[in-house]
Chains A and B, each alone.
Chain A
Amino acid sequence: MMDRQEKGDLSLVALTKSFATFTAVHPLDLTIPQGSFFALLGPSGCGKTTTLRMIAGLEEPSGGRIHIGDADITGTKAHQRNVNTVFQSYALFPHMTVLDNVMFGLRRRGDKQARAKADDILELVQLGQVAGKKPTQLSGGMQQRVALARALVNRPDVLLLDEPLGALDLKLRRQMQMELKRIQQEVGLTFIHVTHDQEEAMTMADSIAVMNTGRIEQLGDPATLYEQPRSTFVANFLGQSNLVRARVNPGGTDHIVTVRVHDTDLEMAREHLPEGVDDVWLGVRPEKLRLGEAGGPNHLRGIVRDVSFSGVATQYSVEMPWGQELIVVQQNDGTARAALGETVSVSWAAHHGFALDASQDAEAGAELVDDHG
């Protein structure tokens, strides 16, 4: 099935889009390796769709260049680019059958094997039996797969997916995530997947760019983004974070530094401390905290204010002497559970903490996370 030469990485160089009154995408530099599953993650209105539309050729950039491999495609029209899009609303042609929808791109290029290729791809997305139906006769999940097949069958250099799973219910969405990932590995094309669901981005992508108000906040593989966020926005948008105000103590070893949180000295890995800042937000993920002393050398004492049991885990809210509540998520592994109002110790290991420049808003990004995701 592979009939196209490998074309190389997609790179965006200082790509910008300004509308009349405001800038939707600030100069954006990004290289997406060929064959990778790349996620563009960010809250609503941060410029994800605009970025995709510029790559597809549906929106003209205000500045910057777009390259695929060595070719500069900035000036070409949408229909001249070997880039295909799976639209958020699917945009299937209602007057054509599923098969004709899928063959549309191949026919434009006069592909002699259009029919065979379309049959193959419909088999891949398990829609062979509905090839003769009109899109409106299909369920949402099936339409989504038709849209995917219609784009995939052209073997584009880059496949753009604009929140393709947004309209599906949770269960179907999880199922389609696995399916998409499987298909991407099977066909080996470059996928750029836009989403505002952080869990979706983390389960599917090889690397993620977190976007905020038209800029990329941080770029990396899911684990790095999660364990070592570089801004409070990323720390809050990608999962939950406990952020407490701390001051870095002078000295320490090559590996460990201590920071002072109110009256307590706490240890953290030096490599997780940004250079040249003394006032920091010390961050720890809720699942890295332990009730009791067993979690590590760092201890804080507080009172349990809220307990919520969710089956696999229990989430506690522990109030610190200075009034802040820390979220602790404890696996339901048979250890005793703490009761409401109990005074407990919260502990964690030095390498689980990360520090962020305290000049940032500790709440940035937290209010943008949608819970249904």
Chain B
Amino acid sequence: MKWIKKHLIAFAALAVLGYMLVPNVIVAAFSFNDPKGKFNYNFNEFSTEAWTNPCGAQGICESLGLSLQIGVIASLSATVLGAMIAFALGRYRFRGRSATNLLIFMPMATPEVVMGSSLLTLFLMLGVPSGRTAILIAHIMFCVSFVVVAVKARVATLDPKLEEAAADLGANPTQTFLRVTLPLAAPGIAAGALLAFSLSFDDYIITNFNASPSSITFPMYVWGAAARGVPVQVYVIGTVMFLLALIVVMTAQLISSRRHRQVV
């Protein structure tokens, strides 16, 4: 009884963790199913069929490829743009600074449905055809806000004296940025880039508004398939994505804890 009391917090934590992980466990388990009929909702028989043939369902790998491509380009572009905005906002006083600070939050605050539909209207007006380019522009746009927030938080903690010290030691502004500012802001930039990638990869609503029949992203594919019966391959890809995310997060934790240990 005492033992239970003592470890109550651990039990509570495990329970919450379990609650959060159940969906992932189900997805992983059902990726090994050989479903009876079209719907993968009852565990029928163990099979590695979907794992050995992940592109087996028609169109699935094309949509995954498109999502990865858009995710990489959108997150890279948004990271470059967002980091520059964050440095400008964090380091310099200029006219329109507080307005920019406020407006940068707008895409985060606007409901996605509203943004998606208004973007579609805009693209139609400007004659931008629906499809991959339109999706990319939209993704970069909403990812930038998140990158700015992540990088700005990091820039705010940087001691401006360090940049002065670099200049004092003979580093010109470019060298100062590359050797001192950028390395110190790197964790914030990496966090912003990862966030941007997962937001872009995951996005359904805005994407759906601006897609064409030839630009089916992975979330759109899954959504479309759900009506007809989700192929087991979707569960495989879901599991792989989850594992990848886990590895990335754990690596980041490891790096930061190693850094931390050096600090103490």
Report which A residues bind B (CB closer than 8 A).
56-58, 77-79, 83-85, 87, 89, 91-95, 104-105, 108-109, 134, 136-137, 150-151, 154
A58 CB to closest chain B CB (Å) equals 5
B262 at the interface (CB under 8 A from A): yes
Listed residue (A78, A134, A137, A150) with the most chain B CB atoms within 10 angstroms of its CB: A78
One of A58, A85, A108, A137 near B263 (C-beta < 8 A): A137
A79 & B167 in contact (Cβ 8 Å cutoff): yes
Majority DSSP secondary structure for residues of B touching A: helix
Known A93-B180, A95-B184; contact A104-B171, beta-carbon cutoff 8 A:
yes
A93 & B262 in contact (Cβ 8 Å cutoff): no
B172 & A79 in contact (Cβ 8 Å cutoff): yes
Contact digits for B82-104, partner A, Cβ 8 Å, 1 yes 0 no: 00000000000000000000000
Contact digits for B194-219, partner A, Cβ 8 Å, 1 yes 0 no: 00000000000000000000000000
A108 & B170 in contact (Cβ 8 Å cutoff): yes
Distance, CA A70 to CA B101, complexed state (A): 48
Report which B residues bind A (CB closer than 8 A).
159, 161-162, 164-173, 175-176, 179-180, 183-184, 262-263
Known A134-B263, A137-B262; further 15 A-B contacts with Cβ < 8 A:
A56-B168, A78-B164, A78-B168, A79-B172, A84-B168, A87-B165, A91-B161, A91-B162, A91-B164, A93-B162, A94-B184, A104-B169, A104-B179, A105-B170, A151-B169
B184 & A58 in contact (Cβ 8 Å cutoff): no
Which A residues are CB-close (under 8 A) to B169? 79, 84, 104-105, 108, 150-151, 154
Distance, CA A154 to CA B166, complexed state (A): 13
One of B165, B167, B173, B175 near A93 (C-beta < 8 A): B165
Which B residues are CB-close (under 8 A) to A89? 159, 161
Which A residues are CB-close (under 8 A) to B171? 79, 104, 108
B183 & A95 in contact (Cβ 8 Å cutoff): yes
B262 & A136 in contact (Cβ 8 Å cutoff): yes
Distance, CA A350 to CA B175, complexed state (A): 63
Distance, CA A87 to CA B167, complexed state (A): 13
Can you list 20 A-B pairs, Cβ within 8 angstroms, ordered by A? Answer: A58-B168, A78-B164, A78-B167, A78-B168, A79-B173, A85-B165, A85-B168, A89-B159, A91-B159, A93-B166, A95-B183, A95-B184, A104-B169, A104-B179, A108-B171, A134-B263, A137-B263, A150-B169, A151-B168, A154-B169
A108 & B168 in contact (Cβ 8 Å cutoff): no
Distance, CA A84 to CA B173, complexed state (A): 17
Known A79-B171, A79-B172, A104-B171; contact A91-B263, beta-carbon cutoff 8 A:
no
Distance, CA A134 to CA B183, complexed state (A): 15
Distance, CA A142 to CA B186, complexed state (A): 27
Which B residues are CB-close (under 8 A) to A154? 169-170
Which B residues are CB-close (under 8 A) to A78? 164, 167-168
Which A residues are CB-close (under 8 A) to B176? 79
B149 CB to closest chain A CB (Å) equals 23
One of A58, A83, A134, A136 near B164 (C-beta < 8 A): A58
Q: In this complex, what residue of B is CB-closest to A100?
A: B179
Which B residues are CB-close (under 8 A) to A94? 162, 184
Which B residues are CB-close (under 8 A) to A87? 161, 164-165
B246 CB to closest chain A CB (Å) equals 27
B148 CB to closest chain A CB (Å) equals 23
B234 CB to closest chain A CB (Å) equals 42
Known A108-B175, A137-B262; contact A91-B165, beta-carbon cutoff 8 A:
yes
A52 CB to closest chain B CB (Å) equals 11
Distance, CA A91 to CA B169, complexed state (A): 12
Which B residues are CB-close (under 8 A) to A83? 168
Distance, CA A122 to CA B173, complexed state (A): 27
B162 CB to closest chain A CB (Å) equals 5
B262 & A134 in contact (Cβ 8 Å cutoff): yes
Which A residues are CB-close (under 8 A) to B172? 79
B170 & A79 in contact (Cβ 8 Å cutoff): yes
Which A residues are CB-close (under 8 A) to B170? 79, 105, 108-109, 154
Q: In this complex, what residue of B is CB-closest to A104?
A: B169
Listed residue (B164, B169, B262, B263) with the most chain A CB atoms within 10 angstroms of its CB: B169
